[in-house]
Amino acid sequence: MNSPSEHRTGLAYGFTAYGLWGLFPLYWPLLEPTGAIEILAHRMVWSLAAVVLVLIVMRRWSWIGPLLRQPKRLALIALGAAVISVNWAMYIWSVNSGHVVEAALGYFINPLVSIAFGVLVLRERLRPLQWTAVGVGVAAVLVLAIGYGRPPWIALTLAFSFGSYGLIKKRVGLDGLESLAAETALQFLPALGFLIFLGARGGSTFTDTGPVHALLLAGTGVITALPLIAFGASAVRLPLSTIGLMQYLAPTFQFVLGLVVFHEEMPPERWAGFSLVWLALALLTWDALHNAHRSRAALRVATSAAVAGAVPEVVPEVVPEVVPEVVPEAAVPDAAPSGSAPEPEALRG
């Protein structure tokens, strides 16, 4: 068990990670007039540079050799790189096109999507309250679709791409930093090729808009790596339940920014849809905390019986919890997955 000081340190790292992910909408508009695709390419290139620098400092290279000898795992990483590229591109475009609130909605919906994947793909069982939460989430999407006059496709694209990314990362089984390094290594050459092509055509903004703008584009690598590193430091110091609750900080910050800073409209039907989503998340959170309490109580009973030299005839059964994948950026918007410790990659939009 970690000491109180370690717990406080973990909370500080966690707030740093999710806070940075939540403030991403303030960064992307600074890169105008650069288009979303060029920003995405710079992010891929400079993220690899930042991650390689961290790996050099930490001397974490031993995972590369075994990975290169596993073609199926490499194929999954390539698929993950493609899916997170879609997530990053959609997030950047949505923020710079005035859809910050709908982007935040995508990351509020993401835990529900992860649960759906757990049931449909991993054959996990849901408890009744989790089924209720999923049903409320579906109702929320229907309300928003009626209110918009169309499905909330930005939010759904972000939620399903990030949910798919979390599922793939669960299968790959690499830590956050190594996973980001492998994915950006695969993204690097196509992204660099696109930037060279853009520059040859005279369409690049990297060298034509001044040194400050060039530094901001290069900074996309730093802002991708920093929250992921902070998240990793938090995950080893905090319980999974605490990390799971903190994942809602990033979309909450984004939602507030959309209202207060970007002055996006919130008609009544949008408030109704968001309220249903928040109700679904409240149900999931209560159910997770209640199940965790039951698990601890059952463990105490079993431990006490073992110490007393007796085995209770009935040990309360606790249905395994379906924990939503938490990945920021690489997320929280872009950037986080389940099991021992969630991995935000895309919250991290």
At 321, the pLDDT band (50, 70, 90 cuts) reads very low
Predicted confidence at residue 189, as pLDDT, reads 94
Rounded Cα gap, residues 174 and 306, in angstroms:
36
Q: Is the peptide bond before 251 cis (omega within 30 degrees of 0)?
A: no
Of 225, 255, 254, 258, nearest in space to 344 by CA: 225
Q: How far is CA 17 from CA 250, 288, 344, 347, in A?
A: 9, 22, 9, 10
Question: Using CA atoms in the order 71, 73, 76, 82, what is the torsion angle rounded to 10 degrees?
Answer: -70
214 backbone dihedrals φ, ψ, rounded to 5°: -60, -40
CA-to-CA distance for 225 and 166, rounded, in angstroms? 17
Q: Which of 64-73, 189-198, 225-234, 318-327 has the lowest mean pLDDT?
A: 318-327
Instruction: Give the Å distances, CA to CA, from 243 to 114, 120, 260, 328, 345.
Output: 16, 25, 27, 12, 14
Torsion, Cα 44 49 51 54, to 10 degrees, reads -170
Query: Which runs of consecutive H residues, i.e. helices, occur in 201-341?
Result: 211-235, 240-246, 249-260, 268-308
Comparing 100-104, 250-254, 324-328, which segment has the lowest mean pLDDT? 324-328
Q: pLDDT per residue over 18-61, tens digit each?
A: 899 999 999 999 998 999 999 999 999 999 999 999 899 888 88
Query: Mean pLDDT across the chain, nearest whole number?
Result: 82
Q: Residue 220: pLDDT above 60?
A: yes
Which pLDDT band holds residue 95 (cuts at 50, 70, 90)?
very high
349: pLDDT strictly greater than 60: no
Answer whether residue 240 shows pLDDT above 90. Answer: no
Angle, in degrees to the nearest 10, between helices 211-235 and 4-22? 140
Higher pLDDT, 207 or 259: 259
Q: Is the pLDDT of residue 337 over 70?
A: no
Cα dist from 5 to 9, 11, 233, whole Å: 6, 10, 14
Give per-residue pLDDT as tens, 275-319: 998 998 888 888 877 776 676 666 667 676 666 665 454 444 444
15-42 exposure pattern, b = at least 16 Cβ within 10 A, e = fewer:
ebbbebbbebbebbeebeebbbebbbbb
Query: Smallest Cα–Cα separation from 156: which of 175, 136, 141, 173?
Result: 141
- Output the pLDDT for position 140: 87
| pLDDT at residue 341 in the model | 40
Round to whole Å and give the CA distance between 321 and 339. 10
Q: For residue 233, what pLDDT is reported?
A: 80
Weakest-pLDDT range from 36-40, 76-80, 225-229, 308-312: 308-312
User: What does the alpha-carbon distance between residue 147 and residue 138 come to, in Å, rounded to a whole number?
Assistant: 14
- CB-based contact 328:84 (threshold 8 Å): no
Task: Please report the sign of the dihedral spanned by the C-alpha atoms of residue 59, residue 53, residue 83, residue 17.
Answer: positive
Quick one: average pLDDT of 72-93?
A: 93
Type of residue found at 98: G
Instruction: Tell me what the mean pLDDT of segment 250-257 comes to.
Output: 92
Percent of the chain with pLDDT over 90: 37
- pLDDT of 5 reads 81
What gap in Å lies between CA 282 and CA 138, rounded to an integer? Answer: 15
- On whether the CB atoms of residues 87 and 346 are closer than 8 A, the answer is yes
CA distance linking residue 183 with residue 175, whole number of Å: 12
345 in helix, strand or coil?
strand
